[in-house]
Structure 1
Amino acid sequence: MTPTHAGPAAPDGLPAAQQPDWPDPGRVRAVRAELGALPGLVPAHECDRLGERLAAVARGEAFLLQGGDCAEEFRRATPGAVHGTAQTLLRMAGALEQAAGLPVVTVGRLAGQYAKPRSRPTETRGGRTLPAYRGDAVNGAAFTAADRAPDPRRLLAAYDAARTTLGLMSAYLASARGAASREVFASHEGLLLDYELPLRRTDPATGRAYATSGHLIWAGERTRGLDDAHIAFLAGIANPVAVKIGPTARPGELKELVRRLDPEHRPGRLTFVIRVGARKVRQVLPDLVAAVAETGAPVAWVCDPMHGNTFEAPTGHKTRHFDDVYDEIAGFFEVHAMLGTHPGGVHLELTGDEVTECVGGGAGSARGAGVSFADLPWRYASACDPRLNRSQSLEMGRLIAGLVAERTRVPVG
């Protein structure tokens, strides 16, 4: 039987942070109707399978590797770009699996990461102010009035790009040597409710509603408010869900998120992704883990070491230092070792290309040993935030494998 459109997933009237200022509500309604008539992008049974894999992560029986572009671009829904990211993730997963002696659950930030929350609604250059770039699903990156105007028709282009990306990933897994035995699931931040709500479907086999835009959907640090429509949306779908947790989060907030998103305490249902920065992880994380432990909920704990470690380079580029990224991961492992809990995984912004966006890394630059500040303009290609390049990603994978091996007392190599 064909899944049916499930209708709105959140009660009317709830505030929804970080939504575009669409200029024509009538066009938005028309686009939502078109999206609602399209086939879902992922089937319910694949979402359930990821939930089973994440249940193993929550029980300490597996490790999650999640990664991909900060902000996907429509133009990069190509075999080269998708296969490059897939190959990088799978090589990292192989190193981690060998080190840990545990299965590695591989999830891409792909086929849906076309929108980004922004700290400011506008951007000013040379005395001219325009709407901020919010991702290809909303507007264009070029600093022109035409490009920066929000256009709801881009939501349909996002659907097409996601469908293409999922097809390319499936083709790669079917053809690449050694990849056919692995699964790569799709995830993204469920930011644009005008996209997510029309793609919500009811599975006729179970009667449960699923977000068919991706296997794993998360709420970000800016949209995790307890009364925000995004949390209500996540509460109304059967997919595995996640919430990004920043340094201002309080233990009581996480307890309430557990109550709303995982009231049945189902393993694999809820993941908390910590993104607090290398300098704060050892101070902030223990109280949060302890508070959630008091609820008895079997959540998976994952480290996002990217977002808390961004700074402006002397060149004016946003960047991150490889050593800071690693230090936050190391601190994440140290806290879980101290508490006797499972460091469930990592969530990285990375690419299979040899870009120059994050500095550091012993083999991070095609020009030599490590990316320097002077290298940043050379191949800075991100549409939003800086990513680890292929070499840096593989190096980081080896370092994480060492942490996992130490944690599980399995020798590397």
Structure 2
Amino acid sequence: MGNAFLLQGGDCAESFKEFHANNIRDTFRILLQMGAVLMFGGQMPVIKVGRMAGQFAKPRSEAFEEKDGVKLPSYRGDNVNGDAFDEKSRIPDPHRMIRAYCQSAATLNLLRAFATGGYAAMQRVTQWNLDFTERSEQGDRYRELASRVDEALGFMAAAGLTVDHPLMTTTDFWTSHECLLLPYEQSLTRLDSTSGRYYDCSAHFLWAGERTRQLDGAHVEFLRGVANPLGIKGSHPGGVHLEMTGQNVTECIGGSRTVTFDDLGSRYHTHCDPRLNASQSLELAFIIAERLRKRRISSQQPLITGL
């Protein structure tokens, strides 16, 4: 498993229309809840990384899309063009990059306030998880794990690690997005005067997508020159990467609060690929935590050999 578990999640593509403090808060909150469950199940640090504050551009397999005989350039994300199917919206507009930057900066500032201002307190996160198990149709399955986390917090408090300790009230949270729109990434690349290395300051963590990871391509060449942590498909994941939201959308079927095919049209709001909603995301975290715990326990059992 390594020394930590990576939890990465967020919108398939951020949008200008859905930019709201509540949306940012809800996604941050569900990642906190998932992180607490996974940390207890795996008994190792969980690195929480949001697909936030920069995940606007989207790769496209086709340069054009056609509807009812009308052919227009494909929607490539809000920092390139609009998603409405009309000629004006699909014209690339460089000013969209400036708007994306301003929205990303505001998102990052809000995330920083949430992470360090007490909202991320472990006791609060644990109570959220306990509340989830009470409302879930499969609550009995997850309640034991959530209660164990609560008991562990009680033990730490008795040992002197009280609720006002910084370790219990703050958290580390990182941002990420696909390195796709190179003019945007290049404009935010800076030289660190202390180390002499270049960093892309648009995010903490960047990844090369399936369509842009050619060894002789411009994206790999750009990423070769920056010192950010990088992701690429085909390597050992060491965690889980989800397209998800903290909102109560109906874009993926299944879950304990069953979303059916008939439900999909009621709250299908994504601008790109479908996302897990808050309940589905947290339920998945409980399932993964169960597997991590079983794996950890089995690996710790003494090896019994015959004579």
When normalised by structure 1's length, the TM-score is 0.59
**SS of 2:251 mapped into structure 1:** coil
Question: Are 1:385 and 2:273 an aligned pair?
Answer: yes
Cα distance, 1:148 vs. partner? 1.0
User: For 1:221 and 1:236, how far apart are their aligned partners in 2?
Assistant: 19
Shift in Å, 1:402:
1.2
1:71–1:116 CA contact under 8 A, matched in 2:
yes
Picking from 165, 168, 176, the partner of 2:119 is 176
Matches within 5 A, 1:303-342: none
Question: Using a 3 Å threshold, how does the CA distance of structure 1 residues 392 and 410 change in structure 2: closer, same or farther?
Answer: farther
Q: How does 1:402-413 map to 2 (within 5 A)?
A: 402-409=290-297
Query: How far 1:243 sits from its partner (Å)?
Result: 0.9
How far apart, CA to CA, are the structure 1 residues paired with 2:96 and 2:63?
18
| Whole-angstrom CA distance in 2 between matches of 1:80 and 1:175 | 17
Alignment partners' CA distance in 2, 1:183 and 1:216: 14
In the alignment, what sits opposite 1:395?
Answer: 283
* Root-mean-square deviation (Å): 1.5
Look up the match of 2:193.
204
The residue number in structure 1 matching 2:138 is: none
Report the secondary structure of 2:216's partner residue.
coil
Deviation at 1:74? 1.9
Q: 1:410 to 1:165 in 2, by over 3 A?
A: farther
Q: Distance in 1 between matches of 2:33 and 2:283?
A: 11
Measured after TM superposition, the shift of residue 172 of structure 1 is: 1.5
- What is the identity percentage for the equivalent residue pairs of Structure 1 and Structure 2? 49
Aligned with 1:242: secondary structure? strand
Q: What SS is found at the alignment partner of 1:409?
A: helix
C-alpha distance in 1, partners of 2:78/2:187?
18
Judged with a 3 Å threshold, the aligned counterparts in structure 2 of structure 1 residues 101 and 410 are, in CA distance, closer, same or farther, namely farther
- Name the SS for the 1:66 alignment partner: strand
Does the aligned pair in 2 maintain the 1:69–1:351 contact within 8 Å? yes
**Structure 1 residue 95 corresponds to structure 2 residue 84:** no
| Alignment pair present for 1:78 and 2:28 | no
Give the CA deviation at 1:168.
Answer: 1.2
Asked which structure has the greater CA Rg, the reply is 2
1:147 partner SS: coil
Match runs of 1:226-245 below 5 Å: 226-245=215-234
1:102-134 CA distance string (max 9 Å, x none): 111100001110000011111111111111111
2:32–2:120: 8 Å Cα contact kept in structure 1? no
> Tell me, what secondary structure is at the counterpart of 2:177?
strand
Question: C-alpha displacement at 1:98, in angstroms?
Answer: 1.0
Which of 325, 334, 351 pairs up with 2:245? Answer: 351
Give the Cα separation in 2 of the matches to 1:128 and 1:108.
37
Give the aligned length.
Answer: 252
SS in 2 for 1:143: coil
User: Does the aligned pair in 2 maintain the 1:111–1:163 contact within 8 Å?
Assistant: yes
Q: Which runs of 5+ in 2 are unaligned?
A: 123-168, 300-307
Aligned runs of 1:7-406 on 2, under 5 Å? 60-173=2-115, 174-178=117-121, 180-245=169-234, 272=235, 301-302=236-237, 344-363=238-257, 370-406=258-294
The offset of 1:177, in angstroms, is: 4.7
What is the rounded CA distance, in whole Å, between the counterparts of 1:217 and 1:394 in structure 2?
24
Give me the whole-angstrom Cα distance separating, in 1, the residues matched to 2:92 and 2:298: 51
- Name structure 1 gaps, 5 residues minimum: 1-56, 246-271, 273-300, 303-343, 364-369
Q: 1:202, 1:210 within 8 Å by CA — same for their partners in 2?
A: yes
Per the normalisation by structure 2, the TM-score is 0.79
Letter in 1 for 2:249: V
Distance 2:263 2:65 in 1: 25
The code of the aligned residue for 2:224 comes to A
Secondary structure at the aligned position of 2:186 is classed as helix
Query: In structure 2, what is the Cα distance between the partners aligned to 1:126 and 1:184?
Result: 45
Q: Distance in 1 between matches of 2:262 and 2:27?
A: 25
Can you list the C-alpha shifts for 1:124-173, whole angstroms capped at 9, x where unaligned? 11111111111101011111111111111111111111001101111222
2:155 alignment counterpart: none
Deviation digits for residues 42-91 of structure 1 (CA, Å, limit 9, x no counterpart): xxxxxxxxxxxxxxx7xx11101000000001233321000000000000
